[in-house]
Amino acid sequence: MSKADELRNKTPEDLLQMLLDLRRKQFGLRMQRGSGQIARASEIRETKKAIARVKTVMRETDRGGV
């Protein structure tokens, strides 16, 4: 089962909360990068992809898709 499949099983409220949490994490990571304190630079990319994945699933459910 892929990550997107797991997200499709969640409620819209759960997806929205997950999106908000990921956005907060992304903001924190950007602040760490700006101050030179970030431990793993790849974490920024992973968070960005996770946000895109959640937004894609939210859009699918809004349009009545899979």
13-62 per-position pLDDT tens digit? 999 999 999 999 999 999 999 998 888 889 999 999 999 999 999 999 88
The residue assigned the tokens 């992973």 is: 46
Angle 49-7-45 from CA coordinates, rounded to 5°: 10
| Residues making up the chain, counted from first to last | 66
Provide the pLDDT for residue 55: 96
Q: Is the dihedral of CA 46, 48, 52, 55 positive or negative?
A: positive
The candidate with the shortest Cα–Cα distance to 7, out of 45, 48, 51, is 51
What is the CATH code of the structural domain delimited by 3-62? 1.10.287.310
Can you give the pTM of this predicted structure?
0.86
